[in-house]
Structure 1
Amino acid sequence: MTTSPPEIGPALLNARKARRLTLEQLAQLSGVSRSMLSQIERGETNPTFAVLWNLTQALGIDFADLIAGGPNASQPAIATMTPAQTPEIIGGGGSCRLRILSPARLAGLSEWYLLDIDAGGVLESAPHPDGAFEHFTALSGRFEIRAGDEVRTLNAGETARYPADREHAIANAGPEPASGLLVLLYGRNAGA
Structure 2
Amino acid sequence: MELNEAPEIGPALQRERKQRRLTLDRLAALSGVSRSMLSQIERGEANPTFAVLWALTQALGIDFSQLIAGEIAGNGRTDAIDLVTVALTPEIRSPDGAWRLRILSSPALAGSIEWYETEIAPGCRLQSAPHAPRTVEHLTAWTDGLVVETEHGRQPLGKGETARYRADVAHGIANTGDEPARALMVVLYDQGREPALRG
> 1:60 offset after TM fit, Å?
2.6
1:141–1:177 contact (8 Å) kept in structure 2: no
TM-score, L = length of structure 2: 0.66
Question: Counterpart of 1:68 in 2: which secondary structure?
Answer: coil
Q: 1:35-54 residue pairs with structure 2 within 5 A?
A: 49-52=30-33, 54=35
* C-alpha contact (below 8 Å) 2:31/2:58 kept by paired residues: no
* 1:60 matched to 2:42: yes
2:9 to 4, 12, 15: 15
1:63 offset after TM fit, Å? 5.9
Picking from 166, 170, 183, the partner of 1:167 is 170
Q: TM-score, normalised by structure 1?
A: 0.68
Deviation digits for residues 84-118 of structure 1 (CA, Å, limit 9, x no counterpart): 10000013732100000011111111110000111
Confirm or deny: 8 A CA contact 2:129 2:171 kept in the other structure. yes
CA distance in structure 2 between the partners assigned to 1:65 and 1:169 by the alignment: 26
Deviations 1:45-101 (CA, angstroms, capped at 9, x unpaired): xxx944257564542398679531236222553111111100000137321000000
- Which range moved further: 58-67 or 157-166? 58-67
2:108 is the alignment partner of 1:105: yes
Unaligned runs of 5+ in 1: 1-12, 19-29, 31-47
Q: Return the offset for 1:141.
A: 2.4
Give the structure 1 partner of residue 72 of structure 2: 72
Task: Provide the aligned length of Structure 1 versus Structure 2.
Answer: 153
Any conservation in 2 of the 1:120–1:174 contact (CA below 8 Å)?
yes
Contact 1:114–1:179 under 8 Å retained in 2: yes
Runs in 1 of length 4+ with deviation above 4 angstroms?
52-58, 61-66
| Structure 1 residue matching 2:32: 3-state secondary structure | helix
Gaps of 5+ in 2: 1-6, 13-23, 44-55
In the alignment, which residue of structure 1 is the partner of 2:91? Answer: 88
Task: Report the 3-state secondary structure (helix = DSSP H, G, I; strand = E; otherwise coil) of the residue aligned with 1:105.
Answer: helix
Structure 1 counterpart of 2:124 = 121
Identity of aligned residues (%): 38
Give the match's secondary structure for 1:114.
strand
User: Would the aligned equivalents of 2:59 and 2:107 in 1 still touch at CA under 8 Å?
Assistant: no
